[in-house]
Structure 1
Amino acid sequence: MNIDTPAIQAAYASVRAESSPENWLLLSYASPTSDALTLTATGSGGLEELKTHLLDDQAQYAYLRVEYANDSESTRVKFALIIWIGERTRVMRKAKVGFQSGEVKKVLRHYSVQIDAGDRGDLVEGEVVVRCRKAGGADYNGGRG
């Protein structure tokens, strides 16, 4: 399973760059029987746009740049790794995700939070921001999320 491809590295660098409009990328399996992951989508519309690309019959891996305000003076940037297992994903694919997600983490290695999701309702922007804020240490917002 070689996911350290030039296309994935370029997309990863783009999502990490604050000057880039791209703020997410999505990796999917090349076919139902393949363990090869490919870059299937990138975008600049944040979590809501990303969710439209998640498939109910697949396991996928997303990398998301999350920007939020700490106060009126500053903003923070954190990254989330989303491990998606759609509700109709095949049993054997689900079984492999534990091992294969370790390989993904070697390439998409800089993230503050990992979110395991199987329903789009698990991916709510406000809740993702709260998790990133908690992972970031200092809370300049007085615990108000």
Structure 2
Amino acid sequence: MATKIDKEACREAYNLVRDDSTNVIWVTFKYNGSTIVPGEQGTEYQSFIQECTDDIRLFGFVRFTTGDAMSKRVKFALITWIGENVSGLQRAKTGTDKTLVKEVVQVILLLLVKMTTMMMIVDFSTVLSGLPNTLYLLLFLIFYICF
């Protein structure tokens, strides 16, 4: 069965993360049968990391702040999480399902396709503080290759 996405519900969750007036800094998009729907949302990165378990696949839209005291900038990342215990068929379908999520999540800094728990523990605001935008992707690619 082809995967569908609840665009309206997912767009509402996406806009919560993008809205400066809310404290929500991340939201997940999970599978409910063959439909992608909004999952959990939160105000702390640690709770997002706990959502990414070995037996699920999900998409996360995360907000983080970079810069120094003189210039703060908000950045966003779309994360595709595929746990180690997810079957090969579900892994393959997740890659094609990502296009459905990208129809809703249209503003992203980078797309991290595969992450380990070690990578997610990194404090984005510390790592990216003060770096020019053109170096963000390079930094993550180097980090991804090394770990």
Rounded Cα–Cα distance in structure 2 between residues aligned with 1:131 and 1:7? 31
Partner of residue 93, structure 1: 90
Rounded Cα–Cα distance in structure 2 between residues aligned with 1:53 and 1:98? 19
Partner of residue 6, structure 1: 8
* 1:1-145 paired onto structure 2 within 5 Å: 1-30=3-32, 34-45=33-44, 47-68=45-66, 70-126=67-123, 130=127, 136-137=133-134
SS at match of 1:125: coil
Q: How many residue pairs were aligned? A: 134
Cα separation, partners in 2 of 1:103 and 1:132, compared to 1, 3 Å: farther
Task: Summarize deviations over 1:73-113 as a string: whole Å, max 9, x none.
Answer: 11110000000000001111001111111111111111101
CA apart distance, 1:118: 4.5
- Decide whether the 8 Å contact of 1:113 with 1:132 is kept in 2: no
Greater helix share, 1 or 2? 2
Rounded Cα–Cα distance in structure 2 between residues aligned with 1:12 and 1:40? 11
Please, which runs of 5 or more residues in structure 2 have no aligned partner?
137-147
Please, which runs of 5 or more residues in structure 1 have no aligned partner?
140-145
Cα RMSD, aligned residues only = 2.4
SS at match of 1:117: coil
Question: Could you state the TM-score of these two structures normalised by the residue count of structure 2?
Answer: 0.79
Matching residue's letter, 2:53: L
- Decide whether the 8 Å contact of 2:57 with 2:94 is kept in 1: yes
Cα separation, partners in 2 of 1:125 and 1:18, compared to 1, 3 Å: farther
- Decide whether the 8 Å contact of 1:62 with 1:81 is kept in 2: yes
Rounded Cα–Cα distance in structure 1 between residues aligned with 2:50 and 2:64? 17
Rounded Cα–Cα distance in structure 2 between residues aligned with 1:124 and 1:135? 22
- Decide whether the 8 Å contact of 1:86 with 1:118 is kept in 2: no
Rounded Cα–Cα distance in structure 2 between residues aligned with 1:134 and 1:100? 32
Rounded Cα–Cα distance in structure 2 between residues aligned with 1:127 and 1:56? 22
